Amino acid sequence: MSAVGRAALEGAGGRSYGAPPRREAGVRRQRCQGPRERRLRRSGARRGRRAVAARVLWTSGELAVTLGLVALLFVVHELWLTNRQARQGAAREVAALEREWRTRGPGDRTAPEADPRDASPAGGGPERDRAATARTGPGTSGGSAPRRDQSYAVLRIPRIGLTVPVAEGVSRSAVLNKGYVGHYPGTAQPGRAGNVALAGHRNTHGEPFRRLDEVRPGDTLRIDTADARYTYVADRTLPRTSPSDGTVIAKVPYSSARPRQRYTEPGYYLTLTTCTPEFTSRYRLVVWGRLTSAVPRTADAGGQGAGG
């Protein structure tokens, strides 16, 4: 072909004569795919989706394990660590109170004073007569009222092996979570006419009332103070009542939710309350007791009258 002919062809097609066809800009070259290529492509897509699903499952599994470990650590903290710390702290507080009571001089002790308004808690008898004539103040030196959140007495329940400090008030952070038993403000103090009302945790934070449901009528419930030992005897139990049943700590206690559970006459009562069933706060368990004796601490016995 002449040079003129080749130039004409090149001008018309924009390419050299004999060169392969040029693709237009923006047009992707299509390749004919056979069945094998299509299967491979679909298989690759499935593998990609499976890989994404596997990553999601793996991440979800790691998250579940992490949350499980956090929950386990929380349970260990609540059920073991808080109990251990609270029990150790409560035991130290009991030892400190008893040491203080032993080392106080005779002049620091206030002899229990008879209250002319007091009658025998439940009739006659030498022990009850002594209780009536050995009435004291709120269990602190000089009969002064205990400060809020201050420990000032020790509760002992031999049946369940309990020895625990009693503090004024029922604050969770300042009293109950320290493993102490709290005294309801406004209720009677140990040895006084009326109702000495105490509350404690059933579970966690020392759980002093964990076994309160094992207390039976006739069991000893003892409260030691700086001035005297007050012995109450368990009288009856209210296995379950509403948390709003506040009359169980009334001066003459009774249950507004269980009308048959009531006292009708003034006396010297002790009320112990805690949550029930275990690990819930849905209901309240109540144990009531009556004062049977009050033994003053004697100076010459070095406080042994309320120890032991």
183 is catalytic: no
Q: Do residues 191 and 291 touch, judged by C-beta distance below 8 A?
A: yes
The secondary structure of 221-250 as a DSSP string is EEEE-SSEEEEEEEEEEEEEE-TT-GGGGS
201, 202, 205, 290: the catalytic one is 201
258 is catalytic: no
In the chain, the N- to C-terminal Cα span, in Å, equals 131
Cross-strand bridge partners of residue 271: 197, 288
* Residues whose CB is less than 8 angstroms from the CB of residue 112 and which lie 6 or more positions away in sequence, other chains included: 134, 135, 136, 191, 227, 228, 294, 296
Cross-strand bridge partners of residue 224: 154, 229
Which alpha helices (DSSP H) does the chain contain, by range? 3-13, 35-76, 82-103, 126-133
192, 275, 290, 297: the catalytic one is 275
Q: Tell me the two tokens of residue 161.
A: 């092996």
156, 222, 284, 297: the catalytic one is 284
3-state secondary structure of 198: strand
Q: Tell me the two tokens of residue 260.
A: 């048959």
284 is catalytic: yes
* Residues that are catalytic: 201, 275, 284
